[in-house]
Amino acid sequence: MKKVLTPARGAILAATFVGLTLPAVAQSQLGRAIQTGEQATRRAETTQTRINQLDDERSDMVGEFRTLLQRKQAAELYARQQKKVVESQERELASLNDQLGRVDEITAQTVPMLLDMIEDLDTFIDADLPFRLEKRKERIATLNTAMESADVPIVEQYRLIIEAYQDEMEYGRKVQTWPETLTIDDKEIKVDMFLYGRVAMVYISPDKRYAARYDRAVGDWVPVENKYKDDIVKAIKIAEGKTSPGVMYAPATKLTVK
């Protein structure tokens, strides 16, 4: 630290030169005065140091106060935002409680609708061409079992029914062929079955001797005209991927659902 020549130090320095010519008593008094001045100077320096320390502490406290004030403002802003979140959650909870209160009412209206959907689907299958009949009837039984089971929630019951409807719709968009054994003229005959979507269902034996279509009106198989046999064979090859797609002709009957 740079030393400053204070008035007291200046007086002491001046007195030092003067004291060289003063008597002993005067010199003693002057010495005491100098000593007193030095003590005052030291006390002043100590006081100034303390003042500087207090000023530094004040600056630190001001900075800390500003930091705390900013944190307080941020906390208040967060608290206001959280209050809005809580209010929103309370409104949502009230809405959910209201919906839960109406679940029984909704279920009471939905169950009869689902049962009607199953019954309509079963009626449609009975009136439809009898392809995959065992599989489709088993599905109807599974749906009825699901409706009677307390372990199957209503949402799952609805999903199963809609899935069944979608599968039935897909049958009408596809052509299918598969081998099957039928009893014809009291003999077991292997034939190739072919389904033209929902337009027609036919079969033909490999030797083309037996060929028939299912007639919805009579509910049984009736022989097809010879002119359709080659078309049936061609359609089967297309379905099997053995020939390129082309126009297919089918002996069709009208679908009527009562």
The full set of domain ranges for the chain reads 1-101, 105-171, 175-239
C-beta atoms surrounding 194 within 10 Å: 25
Alpha carbons within 13 angstroms on the beta-carbon side of residue 142 total 13
Residue 250 binned pLDDT confidence (cut-offs 50, 70, 90): low
d(CA 176, CA 196) in angstroms, rounded, equals: 7
Asked if 222 contacts 202 with a C-beta cutoff of 8 angstroms, the reply is no
Q: Which of residues 27 and 137 earns the better pLDDT score? A: 137
Identify residue 244 by its one-letter amino acid code: S
Residue among 154, 148, 155, 143 at smallest CA distance from 118:
143
Higher pLDDT, 5 or 99: 99
Q: Which residue has the tokens 């001046």?
A: 14
pLDDT at 20: 46
pLDDT value at 255 more than 80: no
Band of the pLDDT at 25, cuts 50, 70, 90? low
Q: Which residue stretches of the chain are H helix?
A: 7-19, 24-101, 103-127, 133-148, 154-171, 229-239
Higher pLDDT, 255 or 249: 249
- At 11, list the tokens: 């007086």
- What is the arithmetic mean of pLDDT over 85-108? 80
**pLDDT at residue 254 in the model:** 58
